[in-house]
């Protein structure tokens, strides 16, 4: 962002951006102190539920909105999608991270109060755009998934459901404090955040991550009553991947779903990631799966 553009934003707190990507939608930027969020609104936003979508470590809201395509998919179903910004050294708007506890980067090292920021974003978006502050959903990619899961685990009364893609919260320090419905999508060939936990071969932070199973079991354990477990497999495309879907339900209602992408790498299924040569599944679309999971809890 140029200094001139920054001055324009200071004068006009609400700015409309048109992203260059083909699947991009119209986003508005809202400044909250020295931080900001982008928001994509449905045609009729009054009383709409909101999805907070958290970018990965080193990303930013505009990049995540364009790469995931979540805004267009969700607004078509009546959701408002909020893309909050993490933080970076010297307040730059790129290379942003979230303080998800044991990860990642500047935000974790500096102990940034990202939970407080997300609560402020929810309150501001609710008041400013007339959204439903009691119908809040969280999702995120990688470091954003870690932050989304951590926030949901610690604030179950504020979150209708959470969906994490390619990230795993610190189960050693986080207890899921209430029955939050949770969807986890993760590839077995992820070399950044390993499916089985530990330090990823290509990890930039050298974090000793919790395993996907530990995260899933933490959310399962917080559900009330006896859960029925079922599984099925999706393998319709010749792309070197398959998806094992494991569900935990109570009273006929899905409460926790794990989508294990066998052979899947570190990416958002269905999203853009040009550099990824292998492990990019075509079996599922993350946006479709997340919205399908969220819909019953609206």
For 24, other C-beta atoms within 10 Å of its C-beta total 18
Q: How many CB atoms lie within 10 A of CB 98?
A: 35
Q: Which of 155, 147, 214, 211 is nearest to 180 (CA)?
A: 155
User: How high is the pLDDT of residue 89?
Assistant: 87
Which pLDDT score, from 0 to 100, does residue 108 have? 96
- The string of pLDDT tens digits covering residues 266-278 is 999 999 865 677 8
How high is the pLDDT of residue 49? 98
Q: Which two tokens stand for residue 244?
A: 């094992």
State residue 19's pLDDT score: 31
C-alpha 151/C-alpha 145 separation (Å) is: 10
How confident is the model at residue 26, as a pLDDT? 79
Q: What pLDDT shows up at residue 278? A: 85
Query: How far is 181 from 172, CA to CA, in rounded Å?
Result: 20
Which pLDDT score, from 0 to 100, does residue 211 have? 98
Angstrom distance (rounded) from CA 196 to CA 210: 8
Ranges in the chain, pLDDT < 50: 1-24
Measured distance CA(218)–CA(113) in Å, rounded: 23
Q: What confidence score (pLDDT) does residue 13 get? A: 34
**What pLDDT shows up at residue 65?**
97
Question: Given this model, what pLDDT does residue 204 score?
Answer: 87
In this predicted model, what pLDDT tens digit does every residue of 3-20 receive, in sequence order? 333 333 333 333 222 233
Rounded Cα–Cα distance for residues 298 and 295 (Å): 5
Q: Which domains does the chain have, with CATH numbers?
A: 3-176+205-223+285-297 (3.40.50)
Q: What is the pLDDT of residue 8?
A: 31
pLDDT of residue 92: 62
DSSP string, the chain: --HHHHHHHHH-SEEEEE-SSTT--EEEEEEETTEEEEEE--SS-TT--EEEEEPPTTB-HHHHHHHH-HHHHHHTTT-EEEEE--B-GGG-SSSBB---SS--HHHHHHT--HHHHHHHHHHHHHHHHT--TTSEEEEEETHHHHHHHHHHHH-GGG-SEEEEES----TTT----S---EEEEEETT-SSS-TT-B--TT-SS---BPPHHHHHHHHHHTS-SPPEEEEEEE--SSSS-EEEEEEEEETTEEEEEEEEEET--SS-TTS--TT--S----S--HHHHHHHHHGGG-
pLDDT of residue 274: 55
pLDDT of residue 93: 63
Q: Which residues contact 84 (CB under 8 A, 6 or more apart)?
A: 35, 36, 37, 52, 54, 61, 117, 118, 121
Against a cut of 0.85, is the pTM above it?
yes
| pLDDT given at position 273 | 66
Tokens of 250: 């109570």
């Amino acid at each position: 962002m140029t200094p001139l553009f920054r001055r324009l934003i200071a004068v006009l707190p609400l700015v409309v951006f048109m992203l260059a990507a083909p699947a991009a939608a119209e986003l508005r930027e809202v400044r909250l102190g020295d931080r900001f969020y982008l928001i994509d609104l449905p045609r009729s936003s009054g009383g709409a539920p909101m999805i907070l979508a958290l970018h990965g470590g080193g990303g930013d809201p505009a990049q995540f909105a364009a790469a995931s395509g979540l805004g267009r998919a969700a607004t078509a179903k009546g959701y408002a999608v909020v893309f909050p910004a993490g933080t970076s050294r010297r307040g730059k708007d790129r290379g942003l991270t979230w303080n998800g506890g044991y990860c990642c980067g500047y935000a974790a090292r500096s102990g940034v109060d990202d939970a407080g920021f997300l609560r402020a974003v929810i309150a501001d978006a609710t008041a400013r755009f007339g959204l439903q502050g009691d119908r809040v959903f969280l999702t995120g990619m990688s470091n954003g998934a870690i932050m989304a899961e951590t926030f949901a685990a610690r604030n179950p009364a504020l979150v209708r459901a959470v969906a994490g893609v390619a990230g795993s919260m610190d189960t050693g320090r986080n207890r899921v404090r209430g029955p939050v419905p949770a969807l986890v999508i993760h590839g077995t060939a992820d070399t950044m955040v390993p499916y089985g936990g530990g330090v990823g071969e290509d990890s930039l932070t050298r974090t000793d991550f919790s395993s996907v199973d530990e995260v899933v079991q933490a959310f399962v354990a917080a559900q009330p009553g006896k859960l029925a477990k079922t599984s099925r497999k999706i393998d319709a495309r010749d792309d070197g991947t398959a998806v094992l879907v494991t569900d935990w339900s109570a009273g006929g209602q899905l409460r926790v779903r794990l989508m294990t992408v066998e052979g899947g790498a570190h990416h958002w299924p269905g999203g853009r990631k040009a550099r990824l040569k292998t492990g990019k599944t075509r079996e599922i679309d993350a946006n479709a799966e997340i919205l399908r999971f969220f819909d019953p809890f609206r």
